[in-house]
Homo-oligomer: A and B are copies of this chain.
Amino acid sequence: MRKVYLDHSAATPLLPAVKEAMLPFLGGSFGNPLSLHNWGDPAREAVDQAREQVAALLGAGSPDEVIFTSSGTESNNFAIKGLASALQSKGKHIIISAIEHFSVMNSARSLEKMGFQLTLVPVDKDGLVNPEDIRQNLRDGTILVSVMHANGEVGAIQPIKEISAITRERKVLLHTDAVATCGNLPIDVTDLGVDALSLAGNQFYGPKGGAALWVKKGVRIIPLLDGGIQEGGRRAGTEDVAAIVGLGKAAEIAAGDIVGRMNKLIPMRDSLIKGLTTQIGHVILTGHPQKRLPGHASFCVEFIEGESMLMLLNSQGIAVSSGSSCTSRALKASHVLIAMGYNHEIAQGSLLFTLGIENSADDVDYVLESMPSIVDRLRQMSPLYSKYIKTNKGGLSNAGL
């Protein structure tokens, strides 16, 4: 059976060159970067190089602005909690979008329990934040705004530059969760105008366990992990050298290849979107049609459930997801789709295809061949669909196929 992996938002395969770069640090170069003897040297030099590679990918002013972490989730927790803690004497109000990843959302909720005030700004039907909504919610005591660069579930790319123009004018810090975009879209932190940015290697062909938070020079942050003097005293814990090296290598490769990757992914994405929305009735593209991640095609398929489609696609060798993998087994309707105005019934039909650089046009064709019969089969068993057909009989006979 053909195997087609289209779940790159959940995990990307490690590039062979990334693995090669990591292997010495799972072998002879096992030293601790902080060791003062020779065994520490290769590890320390490799971590320094990785910091430069990540800084270069972001257009950062200095490698010292890059703090390595263990996951995008840790980066987001660190940013939200660490920046808010550092600024709490100035105020306790935080603004985030309603469609943030749970690592931002729940970090902000944790702060709320500790006495911070939280405002969620809405998004429109395309999943976009209106920068004016940020402006209107800024107030005395607002210390931090966090809006994701792009949403991993619906692919929508947020107007971060427009938002940062507002936050900078008001001298409020802006963090962006760029886990979905870093390595997949060109990023320049100066151009974006942000003060902190989260990224994760496992979203761009680097290792799980290798992630970072970029914090602009001069911006104070309270550590989430207290202890030793690693990462300039901002993130304690023995450095996971292999993962950091892998992240650095993945960043270096991405920096040289982002436009090429986009040029490969966008046509595949668009033919998948066009194919599914035209071949099958009642399929709704979620997220903005153009302002979206290069390899990202997300839909709500009416009358049926995302998990059922996922399982049948899996039985045909196709890997997809029906929302954020971080909550996949919770099987709740996505807070992202609800915030975008979809009702629970339609949100249940969420299906998410995320293409990667190893995919081909044939993979898209295979999906387009497989999907209609899967949808048809599930709709034949769907009480919602039966009800719909009865009340609209004759009018939309091609709704299933």
Partner-contacting stretch, out of A101-109, A163-171, A283-291:
A101-109
As a 0/1 sequence over residues 208 to 249 of chain A, the CB contacts with chain B under 8 angstroms (1 = contact) are 110000000000000011111110000011111111000000
The count of chain A contact residues (Cβ–Cβ below 8 Å) is 73
User: Which of B22, B31, B328 is in CB contact (< 8 Å) with A26?
Assistant: B22
User: Which of B7, B39, B103, B237 is in CB contact (< 8 Å) with A70?
Assistant: B237
User: Which of B224, B243, B329 is in CB contact (< 8 Å) with A34?
Assistant: B329
* Chain B residues closer than 8 Å to A266, beta-carbon distance: none
**Residue from A35, A36, A39, A240 whose CB has the most chain B CB atoms within 10 Å:** A36
Check: A19 CB closer than 8 A to any chain B CB.
yes
A110 to chain B, nearest CB (A): 5
Q: Work out how many copies of this chain go into the complex.
A: 2
Contact of B10 with A225 in the complex, beta carbons under 8 Å: no
A311 to chain B, nearest CB (A): 7
- Cα distance, A329 to B231, chains bound together (Å): 12
**Quick one: closest B residue to A228, CB to CB?**
B326
- Cα distance, A227 to B208, chains bound together (Å): 16
Contact of A314 with B38 in the complex, beta carbons under 8 Å: yes
**Quick one: closest B residue to A78, CB to CB?**
B225
Contact of B229 with A103 in the complex, beta carbons under 8 Å: no
Partner-contacting stretch, out of A90-98, A189-197, A271-279, A317-325:
A317-325
As a 0/1 sequence over residues 11 to 53 of chain A, the CB contacts with chain B under 8 angstroms (1 = contact) are 1111000010010001110111011111110000000000000
A215 to chain B, nearest CB (A): 18
User: Which of B72, B228, B238, B239 is in CB contact (< 8 Å) with A102?
Assistant: B228
Check: A327 CB closer than 8 A to any chain B CB.
yes
A316 to chain B, nearest CB (A): 11
* Chain B residues closer than 8 Å to A240, beta-carbon distance: 70-71, 207-209, 240, 243
Given contact pairs A207-B26, A225-B77, A238 touches B326 in the complex (Cβ within 8 A)? yes
* Chain B residues closer than 8 Å to A230, beta-carbon distance: 326
Contact of B30 with A14 in the complex, beta carbons under 8 Å: yes
Given contact pairs A209-B240, A314-B36, A314-B37, A103 touches B321 in the complex (Cβ within 8 A)? no
Given contact pairs A12-B30, A14-B26, A27-B14, A327 touches B229 in the complex (Cβ within 8 A)? yes
* Chain B residues closer than 8 Å to A327, beta-carbon distance: 228-229
A327 to chain B, nearest CB (A): 5
* Chain B residues closer than 8 Å to A227, beta-carbon distance: 73, 76-77, 101-103, 106-107, 326
User: Which of B19, B103, B241, B319 is in CB contact (< 8 Å) with A208?
Assistant: B241
A18 to chain B, nearest CB (A): 9
Check: A5 CB closer than 8 A to any chain B CB.
yes
- Cα distance, A225 to B7, chains bound together (Å): 24
**Residue from A11, A37, A38 whose CB has the most chain B CB atoms within 10 Å:** A37
Check: A307 CB closer than 8 A to any chain B CB.
yes
* Chain B residues closer than 8 Å to A146, beta-carbon distance: none
* Chain B residues closer than 8 Å to A202, beta-carbon distance: 238
Contact of B11 with A325 in the complex, beta carbons under 8 Å: no
User: Which of B27, B229, B241 is in CB contact (< 8 Å) with A326?
Assistant: B229
**Quick one: closest B residue to A306, CB to CB?**
B36
**Residue from A101, A106, A310 whose CB has the most chain B CB atoms within 10 Å:** A106
| 5 cross-chain CB contacts under 8 A | A77-B227, A200-B238, A208-B239, A238-B325, A240-B243
